[in-house]
Amino acid sequence: MAQRSRRLRLHASGRFCWFHCWFSCFTSTVLVANCTMAALHGLLNIDKPPGVTSRSVVNQIQQLVRPAKIGHAGTLDPLATGVLVLGIGAATRLLQYVQRMPKQYRATFLLGRSSPTEDVEGDVTLQTDAPRPSAEAIRSAARELTGTLLQRPPAYSALKVRGRRAYDLARRGERVELEPRRVNVHRIEVVRYEYPELELRIDCGHGTYVRSLGRDLAERLGTQAVMSALVRTAVGCFQLEEAIAPDRLDRASIEAHLRPLRSAVEALPTVRLSDAEVAAIRNGRTIRRAELSGEEPVAAVDAAGTLVAILKRRGAEHWGPACNLPCA
């Protein structure tokens, strides 16, 4: 009887050891996989397809990079295509700098038409006896719309009014009056004009509504316009030629297409830190850099050129971390 009990204990012990080894291997694999995905930090240059929201593209990529955080650096409407910059991991903390980068668009408008959304997504109304402006008149009006302008955003926009999205209020039939905002338009070039279709190349700054530029251009010509197509061809250093369609990505290819964190802050002044300064910044301390001037944030890189922190002024000659970034 004692011998049989001993055999049972050994058998149970063997089964427990087998299960313990299997469970340890399984959890180790899961932890390694999660750590690998969580360690993804960088920016993705996505070529957004038409007919989908920017948020749906983010959700699609998020399924591939979990549990890493993800966000985007500027919405494209469902009608629009082109460059949509995504930040993964620590890059989500740098998207504000990508948003401030200059942008390039190729936009197509239909003259002699209007809609509440200022594009063909809304109910389009044909203008009676609409004038047909000459190409030279269009170029002249375009020149008047370059520089620093006060632009009235469209009622159908994501801006908030009394805590609600403007487009939600507009869809409910409420009157939406948005205050004009200061924007910078660097260039408007007529690419092609065959009435009623007008194609423009637009170089502008953050916060510019391209469909509203078409509206304002048409008003200067004594007519109206709706946007029928929009392609974002560049956001700073992120070019359409280098963008990748989200359907071509999988877990294996995302890391290969990630741009380094430093590409998000190419417009910021840069300072190279010594190893001792890197250690100080990582520990939340300040460093003395008398050569730095102004109040603008500074991108701090290590000896290898890797972005380690965003610095902000902490006194006359001292700078401290506004944002520490993970080691490469």
Q: How confident is the model at residue 328 (pLDDT cuts 50, 70, 90)?
A: low
3-class DSSP assignment, residue 29: helix
CA–CA distance, 293 with 117 (Å, rounded to integer): 44
Task: Detail the DSSP E strand segments found in 117-196.
Answer: 125-126, 147-151, 160-161, 164-165, 181-194
pTM of the model: 0.83
**C-alpha distance from residue 242 to each of 40, 57, 98, 159, 297 (Å):** 20, 17, 16, 30, 28
Phi then psi dihedrals of residue 144, to 5 deg: -70, -20
pLDDT of 109-139, one tens digit each?
999 999 999 999 999 999 999 999 999 999 9
Q: 280-317 burial by CB neighbour count: b if 16+ within 10 A, else e? A: bbeeeebbebeebeeeebbbbbbeeeebbbbbebeeee
* Lowest pLDDT segment from 35-44, 141-150, 188-197, 304-313: 35-44
User: Does residue 250 register a pLDDT over 60?
Assistant: yes
What are the tokens at 150?
């006060």
Residue 130 neighbours by CB distance under 10 Å: 19
What secondary structure letter does DSSP report for 248? G
Q: Is the pLDDT of residue 160 over 50?
A: yes
Interstrand relation of 238-239 and 225-235 (parallel, antiparallel or unpaired): antiparallel
Quote the pLDDT of residue 20: 41
Q: Which residues are catalytic?
A: 77
Residue 270 neighbours by CB distance under 10 Å? 13
Structure token pair of residue 58: 């983010």
24 or 225: which carries more pLDDT confidence?
A: 225
Query: What number is the average pLDDT over the span 283-301?
Result: 93
